[in-house]
Structure 1
């Protein structure tokens, strides 16, 4: 018995995408939505693979590794931006004024 029905995973991924689009001004909300999408994809890969199928489990570990790298880079950018500009608003950075 699974805790999450497989029919809810695409809906959760779509909701994370909608959240990322609607909250694109705040870097923290964008990073949280990206993490939700990565975790949904990892859960989908694990649920659709059997315990004896190693390539699918290997793919899930690759997705999890990329998610961890993305989280570390995003957190580093968030800390740098907060220290430089005082907030996480993308519009306050000088990169958008070009």
Structure 2
């Protein structure tokens, strides 16, 4: 196998992993929609600081245990959590009993 073929094979492997990563993020956001609907039905506040801390701590531990940069994974989860909060807030506003009154 030539060096170029090897690079192409490695890039194809990377592209497949990226597809898995993106699908996982999409599924996580979809689950966030379901969580937001639950919170809306049961009057649970959107922001759960304890849960946010737990998720970030878990990411930091994972990084340490697997030889990854802790700051990178915590920053990645900051971005994911920010998007999840945005989506949850949007869903909860839409599903709120008073949402129709605001339109």
**Which TM class, normalised by the smaller chain length?**
0.3 to 0.5
Bigger RCO of structures 1 and 2 (CA < 8 A, at least 6 apart):
2
Larger % of helix: which?
A: 2
What TM-score do the two structures reach when normalised by structure 2? 0.41
What TM-score do the two structures reach when normalised by structure 1? 0.42
Q: Who wins on radius of gyration, i.e. which is larger?
A: 2
